[in-house]
Amino acid sequence: MGYYNEDNRFVIAVYVDNKYGVLSRVTSMFTRRGFNIDALTVGVTESPEYSRITITMSGDGYAKAQMLNQLRKLYNVKKVEVLDETTALERELMLIKIKNDQTHNQTILSAVDIFHAEIVDYSVDALCIEVTGPSSKIDAFIEFIKPCGIIEMCRTGVVALQKGGGSMLDMPDVN
């Protein structure tokens, strides 16, 4: 795909009507327009009228502009903003299950300590760790813990908020 010749990652926050089928409208548009996304999360917001979708995507300026335009065109989409990396809070949560192997015990415990993670389940065969933080921190944790034997893992994808007092909904419309 011509769109993705640069590895520029960006995070888009989208307010959508909290209605039946809206998520499939959004994801169907990605497929139809050939957009490739890295992660997507969706959940309730401060207002029962809206849900908030956070999309992580990589691409050049053209891909980014097309994505924003096509999102803004959808009838149920109320607000779309690219979050500014320098002033946004980004968090992701991971649950990761690792073999409970005596030889790696010390590595695991150090990792949990250093990354401010938490052991949430402990059994003879395995232990389960919860890690929260920016995606880069989670990536680093995975790299670190890999030699210990990962059984399975899952990540929530990014949720993000702009720092400061304002709400995204109050920002002026682009275009």
Partner 1 sequence: MKLTGSQIVVETLIEQGVKDVFGYPGGQVINLYDALYEYKDKINHILTAHEQGAAHAADGYARATGGVGVVIATSGPGATNLVTGIATAMLDSVPLIAITGNVPQNLIGKDSFQEIDITGITLPITKHNFFVHDVNDLADTIREAIQIATSGRPGPVLVDIPKDIQISFAEYERKPIVEKFPTVMPKPEKVKRAAEIINGKKRPYIYIGGGVISSNTSKQVLELAEKIDGVIGCSLMGISAIPTNEPRFLGMEGMHGHYASSMAQNTADVIIAIGVRFSDRATGNVSKFARKADIIHIDVDFAEISKNVEAQLGIRGDLSVTLDMLINEVEKKERPKWMDTVRMLREQEAETTDVGVGLTPNALINEINLIKDGDTVVATDVGQHQMWTAQFLNVSTPRTFISSGGLGTMGFGMGAAIGAATATGKKTVLVTGDGSFGMNLNELVTAVTFKVPLTIVVMNNKVLGMVRQWQTLFFDEHYSNTDLKDRYVDYVKLAEAFGAKGTVATTVDEFRKAFKDAYNSDGVNIIDCKIDKDEFVLPMLPPGGAIDDMITSTPKGGEC
Task: List interacting residues with partner 1 (CB under 8 A).
Answer: 20-21, 24-25, 28-29, 31-32, 62, 65-66, 69-70, 72-73, 75-76, 175
- Considering the complex, state which of residue 23 and residue 39 has its C-beta at the smaller distance from partner 1: 23
Report, in Å, the least distance between residue 69 CB and partner 1: 4
- How far apart, in Å, are the Cα atoms of 107 and each of 23, 131, 144? 41, 15, 9
DSSP characters over 52-81: EEEEEEE--HHHHHHHHHHHHHSTTEEEEE
Tokens for 28?
């169907």
Residue closer to partner 1, measured from CB, 87 or 175: 175
**Shortest separation between residue 68's beta carbon and partner 1, angstroms:** 9
In the complex, minimum distance from the CB of residue 1 to partner 1, in angstroms, rounded to a whole number: 15
- Choose between 18 and 70: whose C-beta lies nearer to partner 1: 70
Q: Alpha-carbon distance 161 to 15, whole Å?
A: 12
Nearest distance in Å: CB 172, partner 1 = 12
Q: Is 125 left (phi over 0), alpha (psi -120 to 50) or beta?
A: alpha
